[in-house]
């Protein structure tokens, strides 16, 4: 018998499963976690070093300078911005803040794998709504909202399928959500969007007070290891979440690195453009090799292989290429360095049964 007796929900949670070869064993080509293949820009490393010299001091618990810079960047009041130790920490804070007996959270599925366990940990009932055509099915999600629904998550672009939802559909959806139900647009990959077919929730905040947007420095900005993301939303939501967020959880190093990165927007944009070009190159090659691959608006591609997913994942692992496998559904591959991408494309071209339905 385990002592102390923990909450039974813990027995239902799988625990985070890292892809083989990424943090242990013989290093694999890292295409499983949607990281930037580029190191932080030189100015950012200098900021990290300078902040490291203050490691004996607690960081600014309010992230004052970063919050101010983000507010300026997005043209919103500082009271509408909250930084956190990764956007996941802010999603967790939101769920914790929303959890009341019987409360539900509606989210798309398949989507970001942390949505269900974060909901269960917070004590919210998860209501996963299947994707339609690899997209968040906003109509079906709106249909599932009840008086118990406290929170709805929209993942745009969606992880792991890379699809976006249209602006018109987004507005129509938001019109259907009751004003006392919080909506969060998870825009972890929005910097990679190059289509006018969608819009950022940041442009809709004025029209929908129950909307919030989360963004992260972990992906396009290349600061995954430092853990910093942020939320933009109504000031009263920010005020509530600031009570849930752990004080000092965003390190001084992370705050300074994020600030320095924000000042290097042009250079960052150029690097993201390179990733977008690689994404197109990879998808074109995969389509030519017979894979069905939905058009991606993120830094990864989705191969909906169904029952072949596990075998294809093993095929990649055997070539020391780390990808994310979703048994029975598909495989997600990050757009990495050109060399790693080439290795993946060669591996995919060698997959014997590469004849799939066009997507």
Ligand X SMILES: *Cc1c(COP(=O)(O)O)cnc(C)c1O
Q: Under the criterion CB under 6 A, does residue 229 sit at the interface with ligand X? A: yes
Of 180, 278, 223, residue with least CA distance to 83: 223
Q: Shortest distance, CB of residue 186 to ligand X, whole angstroms?
A: 5
Q: Shortest distance, CB of residue 157 to ligand X, whole angstroms?
A: 8
Q: Under the criterion CB under 6 A, does residue 218 sit at the interface with ligand X? A: yes
Of 259, 268, 215, residue with least CA distance to 72: 259
Residue closer to ligand X by CB (options 246, 288) is 246
Q: Under the criterion CB under 6 A, does residue 159 sit at the interface with ligand X? A: yes
Of the candidate spans 15-23, 145-153, 215-223, 348-356, the one that interacts with ligand X by CB under 6 A turns out to be: 215-223
- Residue with the closest Cβ to ligand X? 86
Distant-in-sequence, close-in-space partners of 354: CB < 8 Å, separation ≥ 6: 289, 290, 291, 348
Q: Shortest distance, CB of residue 90 to ligand X, whole angstroms?
A: 8
Q: Under the criterion CB under 6 A, does residue 231 sit at the interface with ligand X? A: no
Query: Taking the CA of residue 260 as centre, how many other CA atoms within 13 Å lie in the half-sphere pointing to its CB?
Result: 20
Q: How far is CA 230 from CA 54, 93, 187, 284, 343, in A?
A: 23, 12, 10, 34, 34
Binder among 88, 127, 213, 348 for ligand X (CB under 6 A):
88
Instruction: Print the binding letters for residues 119-138 with ligand X: x by CB under 6 A, - otherwise.
Output: --------------------
How far apart, in Å, do the first and last CA atoms of the chain sit?
50
Q: Shortest distance, CB of residue 216 to ligand X, whole angstroms?
A: 3
Map the footprint of ligand X across residues 31-60, applying CB under 6 A: 34
Q: Under the criterion CB under 6 A, does residue 86 sit at the interface with ligand X? A: yes
Q: Shortest distance, CB of residue 158 to ligand X, whole angstroms?
A: 8
Map the footprint of ligand X across residues 167-186, applying CB under 6 A: 186
Q: Under the criterion CB under 6 A, does residue 251 sit at the interface with ligand X? A: no
CB 145 within 8 A of CB 181: yes
CA distance 278 to 31: 13
Q: Under the criterion CB under 6 A, does residue 112 sit at the interface with ligand X? A: yes
Torsions phi, psi for 327 (to 5 deg): -50, 130
CB 223 within 8 A of CB 41: no
Long-range contacts, 343-347 (Cβ 8 Å, 24+)? 343/29, 343/319, 344/29, 344/31, 344/282, 344/316, 345/282, 345/285, 345/286, 345/289, 347/315, 347/316, 347/319, 347/321
Q: Shortest distance, CB of residue 159 to ligand X, whole angstroms?
A: 4
Angle at CA 333, nearest 5°, toward 331 and 308? 20
Of the candidate spans 126-134, 217-225, 241-249, 327-335, the one that interacts with ligand X by CB under 6 A turns out to be: 217-225
Of 10, 37, 47, residue with least CA distance to 228: 47
Q: Shortest distance, CB of residue 164 to ligand X, whole angstroms?
A: 13
- Indicate the Cα dihedral angle 306, 310, 314, 316, nearest 10°: 30
Q: Under the criterion CB under 6 A, does residue 87 sit at the interface with ligand X? A: yes
Binder among 44, 98, 154, 155 for ligand X (CB under 6 A):
155
Binder among 188, 232, 254, 335 for ligand X (CB under 6 A):
188
Q: Shortest distance, CB of residue 155 to ligand X, whole angstroms?
A: 5
- Per-residue tokens: 281: 């190159």
Size of the site for ligand X (CB under 6 A): 14
Of the candidate spans 1-9, 83-91, 96-104, 313-321, the one that interacts with ligand X by CB under 6 A turns out to be: 83-91
Residues at the site binding ligand X, with contacts judged by CB under 6 A: 34, 86-88, 112, 155, 159, 186, 188, 216, 218-219, 224, 229
């Amino acid at each position: 018998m385990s002592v102390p007796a923990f909450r039974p929900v813990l027995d239902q949670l799988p625990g985070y499963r890292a892809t083989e070869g990424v943090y242990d064993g013989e290093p694999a080509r890292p295409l499983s976690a949607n990281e930037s293949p580029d190191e932080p820009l030189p100015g950012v490393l200098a900021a990290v070093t300078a902040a490291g010299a203050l490691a004996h001091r607690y960081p600014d618990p309010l992230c004052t300078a970063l919050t101010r810079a983000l507010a300026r960047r997005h043209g919103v009041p500082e009271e509408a911005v909250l930084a956190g130790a990764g956007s996941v920490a802010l999603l967790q804070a939101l769920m914790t803040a929303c959890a009341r007996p019987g409360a539900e959270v509606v989210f798309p599925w398949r989507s970001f794998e942390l949505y269900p366990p974060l909901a269960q940990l917070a004590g919210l009932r998860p209501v996963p709504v299947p994707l339609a055509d690899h997209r968040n099915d906003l109509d079906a999600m709106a249909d599932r909202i009840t008086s118990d629904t406290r929170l709805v998550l929209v993942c745009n672009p969606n992880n792991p399928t890379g699809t976006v939802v249209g602006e018109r559909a987004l507005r129509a959806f938001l019109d259907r959500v009751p004003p006392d139900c919080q909506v969060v647009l998870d825009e972890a990959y929005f910097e990679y969007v190059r289509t006018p077919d969608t819009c950022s929730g940041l442009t809709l905040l004025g029209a929908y007070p129950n909307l919030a947007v989360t963004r992260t420095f972990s992906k396009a900005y290349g600061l995954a290891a430092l853990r910093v993301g942020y939320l933009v939303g109504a000031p009263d939501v920010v005020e509530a979440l600031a009570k849930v967020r752990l004080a000092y959880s965003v390190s001084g190093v992370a705050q300074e690195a994020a600030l320095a990165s924000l000042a290097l927007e042009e250079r960052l944009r150029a690097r993201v453009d390179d990733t977008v070009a690689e994404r197109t190159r990879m998808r074109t090659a995969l389509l030519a090799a017979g894979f069905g691959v939905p058009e991606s608006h993120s830094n990864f591609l989705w191969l909906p292989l169904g029952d072949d997913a596990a075998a294809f994942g093993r095929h990649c692992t055997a070539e020391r290429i780390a990808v994310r496998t979703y048994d029975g559904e598909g495989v997600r591959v990050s757009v990495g360095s050109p060399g790693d991408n080439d290795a993946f494309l060669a591996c995919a071209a060698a997959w014997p049964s590469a004849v799939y339905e066009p997507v």
